[in-house]
Structure 1
Amino acid sequence: MRKWPIAATAALALGLAACSDNADTPGSSQSTVSHVHGLGVDPANGRLYVATHEGIFTPGKDNEAQRVGDSKDDFMGFTVAKSKTLLASGHPAPGADAPANRGLIQSTDSGNTWKTRSLAGEVDFHALDYVGGTIYGLDSTGGLLRVSQDGVSWDDRARLDALDIAVNPDDANTVLATTADGVAKSTDGGKTFTAVQQPVMAFVSWPKADALYGIDTASGLHHSSDGGSTWKKTTTVPGGQPQALTAVDAKRVLAATQDGIYESKDGGKTFAKRLDVSDGDR
């Protein structure tokens, strides 16, 4: 599969770019976050987590960004695996004594503390997904899809130029990947991928087998009820270019764009802003 063209890459650079260090203190509030790399929701309490270049945040009082824990690492790949359990990857904060690539890290206390699980110094996952105990990670260092059952031992699967992945919640062997040509599909656990399907999506999220969501490079939100064979555009998420997408269920959808984190509770028909997002220093 060919690489993302320059125009598509530039349109999504906000979601992957580095920015200046944030000097706020643990637990403090701030009006905005910048460079959002991932979104997740705890299934137990509905708490929203926002993974950024400067750490993990959640909406606090008056929807101001509240830091979770004290980490200021650059969180890249990010997903909520289950209640209180978060998985991530990325890079250490400036000055931290840690490998440049964090590999797979895990929090079992809702993001307050993190521990290395595996691949430290080796892998930088830019996309992670978790279904039924299976972890899928898209390693940006070589475009390699990796799969693990325990977060420690990994199987190498296909190489592909993709930005995001999503796994069927009812079938961990069915995987979608967003490429420059469209959405590619695997039915053998990511070992091989079929020809891509239009339209081109930047990010995808698959909370229910018949409720798949994708957001294109212009922040158009699309829905598929047949696993990505066909798509229907529902609306355009406000705020400019997309940075992240997650769907909690068939109705609750959250998207990060240039100027905010937006939430829909009606399947993407309408959106309300949850947090402000700043462009930051690029």
Structure 2
Amino acid sequence: MKRIRKWPIAATAVLALALAACSSNTDTHRGAGTSDASRPTISHIHGLGIDPADNRLYVATHEGIFTPGEGGAAQRVGDSRDDFMGLTVAKAKRFLASGHPAPGADGPGNRGLIESNDSGKTWKTRSLAGEVDSHSLDYADGTIYGYDSANGLLRVSKDGTTWQDRARLRALDIAVSPNDPDTVLATTAEGVAKSIDGGKTFAAGKQPVMALVSWAKPDALYGIDTSGGLNRSTDAGMTWQKTATVPGGQPQALTAVDAQHVLAATQDGVYESRDGGKTFTKRLAGSNGDH
């Protein structure tokens, strides 16, 4: 296994800091980022998704779920001001997430797995409340994959209530192959680590170092590095080709919809590409919050 010290120092350091943040205690999440209830803000973006029901963009943040409203301004979805983590759109109107309660709200520090069946307007707890903080979630072939950042553990569930423990590893993000649910990728400080047994074991991470990955179609595997460089792989992560640099600095979230349609959040907002990353349009402005 290659040692981290042989890697580009800046990239590894940024990812290492992000990995450390993933395992921080929940009090940090619950006590920070309080926003004015009358003025929605977009910061600490933790997830992006397109709902097939209406093709609308949904953004999971430290202060709740948002979508572009009239004139492109951020519009809050529902009433929740919780800190939403690991948002994934399982199917039309069905969202899965994890996270932490808003400052002063009732409930355990970790929400476990929560689910919405009305495009993020309301949420209910499915499992693991008080136990798990999943900073990354993916859904493929009827199976939920969750990376428990607090415990450094990949967990898998068919029904959202009963979970199987898989590999232990230090990762920031995961992505599951859309045509082979046994193939799972994880971003680590050493590079992209690959599993071919459903996440039971992972090979050592291989360069390049990616902060985030998203795998929408067999030919639509995208990764973004720590400086915002967007990369695409058409061979399940064996090789990568840089397509562009997403504007706005350090990445916070990434979602590929298909080979041409890509969404990325950086420090100053949410960007969308409809041409495979050649050009980007800003969809929502951010407040330059850290991940």
Q: TM-score range by the shorter chain?
A: over 0.9
Give CA deviations for 1:44-64 in whole Å, capped at 9, x if unaligned. 221111000000000111111
The 4+ residue runs of structure 1 with deviation greater than 3 A are: 1-7, 9-19
2:131 to 122, 132, 140: 122
* Residue 233 (structure 1) shift: 0.2
- Partner AA of 1:72 in structure 2: R
1:8 to 2, 15, 20: 15
Report how many aligned residue pairs link the two structures: 278
Which residue number in structure 1 is paired with residue 141 of structure 2?
132
Greater share of strand residues, 1 or 2? 1
Matched, 1:82 2:95: no
Partners of 1:164 and 1:11 in 2: how far apart?
Answer: 10
Matched, 1:47 2:45: no
Task: Identify if the C-alpha distance between structure 1 residues 281 and 138 changes in structure 2 by more than 3 Å, giving closer, same or farther.
Answer: closer
CA root-mean-square deviation: 2.2
Matched, 1:274 2:283: yes
Which residue number in structure 2 is paired with residue 190 of structure 1?
199
1:22 to 35, 41, 56: 35
* Residue 280 (structure 1) shift: 4.3
Partners of 2:262 and 2:168 in 1: how far apart?
Answer: 29
What are the within-5 Å matches in structure 2 for residues 215-230 of structure 1? Answer: 215-230=224-239
Matched, 1:65 2:90: no
Aligned residues with identical type, % of pairs:
70
- Partner AA of 2:15 in structure 1: A
Which residue number in structure 1 is paired with residue 8 of structure 2?
none
Unaligned runs of 5+ in 2: 5-10
Partners of 2:14 and 2:254 in 1: how far apart?
Answer: 20
Judge conservation of contact 2:19–2:172 (CA < 8 Å) in 1: no
Give CA deviations for 1:92-141 in whole Å, capped at 9, x if unaligned. 01111101110000000110100000000000001000012100000011
* Residue 7 (structure 1) shift: 3.6
* Residue 8 (structure 1) shift: 2.6
* Residue 220 (structure 1) shift: 0.2
Partners of 2:182 and 2:61 in 1: how far apart?
Answer: 29
Matched, 1:101 2:110: yes
* Residue 22 (structure 1) shift: 1.8
* Residue 12 (structure 1) shift: 8.0
Task: Identify if the C-alpha distance between structure 1 residues 207 and 12 changes in structure 2 by more than 3 Å, giving closer, same or farther.
Answer: same
Partners of 1:123 and 1:196 in 2: how far apart?
Answer: 25
Judge conservation of contact 1:39–1:51 (CA < 8 Å) in 2: yes
Partners of 2:238 and 2:210 in 1: how far apart?
Answer: 13
- Partner AA of 1:248 in structure 2: V
Partners of 1:59 and 1:13 in 2: how far apart?
Answer: 31
Partners of 1:204 and 1:82 in 2: how far apart?
Answer: 19
- Partner AA of 1:51 in structure 2: A
Judge conservation of contact 1:263–1:274 (CA < 8 Å) in 2: yes
